Amino acid sequence: NAGVTQTPKFQVLKTGQSMTLQCAQDMNHEYMSWYRQDPGMGLRLIHYSVGAGITDQGEVPNGYNVSRSTTEDFPLRLLSAAPSQTSVYFCASSYNRLLNTEAFFGQGTRLTVV
Amino acid sequence: AQSVTQLGSHVSVSEGALVLLRCNYSSSVPPYLFWYVQYPNQGLQLLLKYTSAATLVKGINGFEAEFKKSETSFHLTKPSAHMSDAAEYFCAVSDNAGNMLTFGGGTRLMVKP
């Protein structure tokens, strides 16, 4: 049982490049989300999905796209990378909405935009 | 909008000493509160969660937290720190629909031998 798997673990991009961060979970969780972690700011929600085919914006969605074609996968796309998107990105999933439910996190993707 | 404040971005204690990490939240309705821990180069994992069944919540690794509605606080404590407790700790609150977690800025706990 792998849990939440993120790839790649590290990535360096040039300004203006695009890329996709992959996230997959094998726990049949309905809810998935993407956060970015910046020093002193905790984690901030980028996008989330409550089920296949349903996505919505979080706190900091600009510059990012997501899709949810299957229950297992929730990729995050950077359309045109900017230095302000240098961060550590975490994918998380949970069985249901987060009212009283544990979120399971991947190990993160450290992204540097130069 | 919900917000979470963690007082002290860095806390240092000696091994065996009491650990107290502070968390205050803003919420107009009864909140759903969590503490997560992040070890170096890893994702976050759940320490404990407030379920409204009891104001004192026990979690893993000897940690516990007390929900105080009058103070809008959910401080994390451990009677005796261990070297393995060195990590970053995040307090979080769920929005009313359960769509997102709002995290505090985190507190890095250092344990001195």
CB contact under 8 A, A42 and B97: no
Residues of B in contact with A2 (CB under 8 A): none
Tens digit of each residue's pLDDT (9 = 90 or more) over A35-86: 999 988 889 999 999 999 999 999 999 999 999 999 999 999 999 999 999 9
| Distance of alpha carbon B19 from alpha carbon B77, whole angstroms | 5
pLDDT in tens, A84-97: 999 999 999 998 87
What six digits make up the tokens of A30? Answer: 């309905």
Phi-psi region of B86 (alpha: psi -120 to 50; beta: other; left: phi over 0): beta
Q: With beta carbons less than 8 A apart as the criterion, state whether B101 and A103 touch.
A: yes
| Residue in B106, B58, B101, B78 with CA at minimum distance from that of residue B14 | B78
Choosing among B2, B33, B34, B100, which should be mutated to test the A contact, i.e. which has the most A CBs within 10 A?
A: B100
Our CA-based measurement puts residue A17 at a distance from the nearest CA of chain B, in whole angstroms, of 26
How confident is residue B28, by pLDDT bands cut at 50, 70 and 90? low
Check whether the bond before A8 is cis (ω within 30° of 0): yes
